[in-house]
Amino acid sequence: MTATKIRARIAGTGLYVPPKVLKNQDLEQFMDTSDEWIRQRSGIEERHVIEGGIATSDLAVESARIALAEANCTPESIDLIIVATLSPDHQFPGVSAVLQHKLGLETTPSMDLRCQCSGFIYSLNVAKLFIEAGQYKRVLVVGAEAHSPLLDWTTRGRDVAVLFGDGSGSVVLEATEDNVGVSSVVLHSQGQFADRLWVEKPGTSKGVWLTEEDRQAGRMFPFMEGRYVFKHAVERLTQVVKEVLEKEGLSIDAIDHFLFHQANIRINEKVAELLSIPSYKVHSNIQKYGNCSAASIPMLLDETIRAGKIARGQTILMAAFGAGFTWAGAIVRY
Ligand code: UT7
């Protein structure tokens, strides 16, 4: 008798964004930019930002509670918490530990996974393997980011600041014997390009956490070589879509929905064009939220499900690219 394969199905999803909205026009007050530039180059119209002492874990707990309610389960029934973020509340411990406490839990294991914009797909893979191995039955996976306090809101930082937003998306994964859930996953990274998109300081490199000179040079703000990253993003996303399809033994036609990382609408349009993916299958919400790094894909997943566009039984392909460089693709049967 062959043992039944255990899979990790999506039981519930949640999205949370802080209430304050910054429209492109609002940014013209702080820096030399324009609504036209931001829309044309990225597709972004507005983003949500935190205020009043709110931190990443506060965003995480809100989307987590929604996902738990959707999955019809309590925080106590969660066996493991994974948080993907590049904007933690503190240098350490991770957001996952803070979130665990905010959910009222005592000793549930928790871990942060730092793979920037690919972090949610990496986390999905880790959760899937824990479930398939039988170690845990229910895992909470959260992507959460509070970028806004970390950005340079002056003209010096405009090429990055206008692109990012704050928010969180959560998914409850649980064990099932049905033929659904997270299927093939492909992960990659290439540290050779770490300095093309990074926050160099504060950190232990060069032995000093943050000098006055680092501060003057703005090394604590994100730096991105935009065009270089754009080119790599298109190339790697296109490759990873093909790779994960091949691993699963499927063609583009068999995929109902494509959820790409929300860094720039032009990147995703280019990938869709190169792969001949019909535009109605490619979802986006960058217009409203900007780039929410590790939170973008779970936010988009929740929103697309809630809009009634994704039905149970349908097949989703997720793909992301970001700092590291890291990139990843996953196929999920909802
Ligand atoms: O999530 C991680 C992955 N991230 C990405 O994948 C992002 C990839 N990169 C991009 O999306 C694009 O490269 C950007 C949206 C960042 C920039 O678009 P671009 O078409 O590559 O513009 P550019 O960087 O070549 O800049 C064009 C011009 C420059 O001026 P000059 O040198 O031509 O006079 C910039 O100084 O636009 C200027 N500029 C701005 N102007 C108004 C840069 N930022 C702004 C701004 N507002 N916010």
How many Å lie between the centroid of ligand 1 and the Cα of residue 212? 28
- CATH 3.30.420.10 for domain 7-179, yes or no, is no
How many Å lie between the centroid of ligand 1 and the Cα of residue 220? 20
pLDDT of amino acid 206: 82
Q: 35: pLDDT confidence band, cut at 50, 70 and 90?
A: very high
CA-closest residue to ligand 1 atom 28? 159
pLDDT of amino acid 57: 98
Tell me which residues have their CB closer than 6 angstroms to ligand 1.
33, 37, 41-42, 117, 158-159, 162, 226-227, 229-230, 233, 263-264, 267, 291, 322
How many Å lie between the centroid of ligand 1 and the Cα of residue 88? 26
To the query of whether residue 48 is one of the catalytic residues in this protein, the response is: no
Catalytic one among 24, 48, 115, 117? 117
pLDDT of amino acid 1: 62
Residues with Cβ within 8 Å of 135's Cβ and at least 6 positions away in sequence, in order, are 79
Q: Which atom of ligand 1 is nearest to the CA of 160?
A: 16
Please state which CATH class domain 183-333 belongs to: alpha beta
Residues with Cβ within 8 Å of 53's Cβ and at least 6 positions away in sequence, in order, are none
Catalytic one among 261, 268, 283, 285? 261
Closest CA to 92 of 60, 114, 116: 114
Q: At residue 310, what are phi and psi to the nearest 5 degrees?
A: -105, 125
122-153 pLDDT, tens digit each: 999 999 999 999 999 999 999 999 999 999 99
- Contact (CB, 8 A) for 284 and 293: no
pLDDT of amino acid 111: 98
Cis, peptide link before residue 258, omega less than 30° from 0: no
CA-closest residue to ligand 1 atom 25? 227
Mutate to test the pocket of ligand 1, among 145, 159, 231 (most ligand atoms within 8 A of CB): 159
305-318 pLDDT, tens digit each: 999 999 999 999 99
To the query of whether residue 90 is one of the catalytic residues in this protein, the response is: no
95-117 pLDDT, tens digit each: 999 999 999 999 999 999 999 99
Cis, peptide link before residue 19, omega less than 30° from 0: no
Give domain limits for the chain: 7-179, 183-333
CA-closest residue to ligand 1 atom 41? 33
42-71 pLDDT, tens digit each: 999 999 999 999 999 999 999 999 999 999
DSSP 132: H
Catalytic one among 24, 268, 285, 291? 291
To the query of whether residue 291 is one of the catalytic residues in this protein, the response is: yes
13-28 pLDDT, tens digit each: 999 999 999 999 999 9
Topology agreement, domain 7-179 and domain 183-333: yes
pLDDT of amino acid 3: 78
CA-closest residue to ligand 1 atom 18? 41
pTM for this predicted structure: 0.97
